[in-house]
Amino acid sequence: MRVAVLGTGIMGAGMARSLLRAGHEVRVWNRTAARARPLAADGATVASSVTDAADGAEVVVTMLFDADSTVEVGRAALAAAPDDATWLQCGTVGVEGARRVADAGGGRVLDAPVLGTRGPAEEGTLVVLLSGPEPLQRKVAPVLEAVGSRTVVAGDKVGSASALKLACNAWVALLTAGTAQSLALAETLGVDPTLFLEAIDGGPVFAPYAKVKGGAMLARDWATSFAVDGVVKDVGLMVEAAAARGFPTELLHAVHELFAEASGLGHGDDDMAAVRTAFP
């Protein structure tokens, strides 16, 4: 298919390469052009504007930081794309953000936030959370096959997938902050923190993610797969959605504060494992 990928950050660049490997014709655009240019070597056409990228596209993928950038770029892309083009919004934009995307997309948009990070984006093994009109879901199937290993359909309403994404990322943020807490607590109490990971390994409370992020924390390796500031943004969206429904926000606030503290310490662009720095 002819696919425009708008936003070639960590996730968008990996998704563009997965689409190219699957044989799709891919045009890419990024606000900071230098971040899109390397994709030419993979076979992408690097466009100098959103309009150029979207011209002739059957599917327009937006993989941008937040709802504001997604709505702005997606709206401009749809204006330039053919009338039957489908807009696949893949960023984490929250529930209110998804409503704004739906308004801007006028029936041509699918909500498709993803689970997985840099590695799965590069490998085409993301888990796509999908919601929106069923005919559009069928149409974009080849694109989803290229970027993901499976798709979880959350219904036919744009926004349901973004709601599910918030629930999933609440878990990811809590697990990462919890791993940092246990490593730091062990250290503070005078125990070798590696023993925490050894103790839970293979048991019912083990999580592979604790090992991955815990290993990075022990090595003080903050090479970014998902940035601290991205987590701050996402947990903020969870707090907003929860508070609007009278849902308890204590735990979300605590997690938000920890990641915000790591960001304040200068780790905003570092990997979320750097939440370890919010503990002694």
- Count how many Cα atoms sit within 13 Å of the Cα of residue 75 in the half-sphere of its side chain: 11
Residue 274: CB atoms within 10 Å: 28
Q: How far apart, in whole angstroms, are the C-alpha atoms of residue 36 and residue 246?
A: 42
Restricted to residues 87-146, the positions that interact with ligand NAP (CB under 6 A) are 91-92, 114, 117
Query: Is residue 225 close enough to count as binding ligand NAP by CB under 6 A?
Result: yes
Task: List binders of ligand NAP among 58-87 (CB under 6 A).
Answer: 63-65, 69, 73
Site string for ligand NAP, 162-201 (x = CB under 6 A): ----------------------------------------
Residue 207 CA, distance from chain mean position: 20
Residue 30 contacts residue 63 (beta carbons within 8 Å)? no
Closest residue by Cα to residue 224 from 73, 6, 11, 34: 11
DSSP 271: B
Q: 57 or 114: whose CB is closer to ligand NAP?
A: 114
**Minimum CB distance to ligand NAP smaller for 114 or for 183:** 114
Q: Which is nearer to ligand NAP, 32 or 83 (CB)?
A: 32
CA angle, corner 32, sides to 29 and 34, nearest 5?
A: 85
For ligand NAP, what does the binding mask look like between residues 2 and 41, x meaning CB under 6 A?
-----xxxxxx-----------------xxx--x------
Using CB under 6 A as the criterion, which residues of the chain lie in contact with ligand NAP when the complex forms?
7-12, 30-32, 35, 63-65, 69, 73, 91-92, 114, 117, 225-226, 230, 234
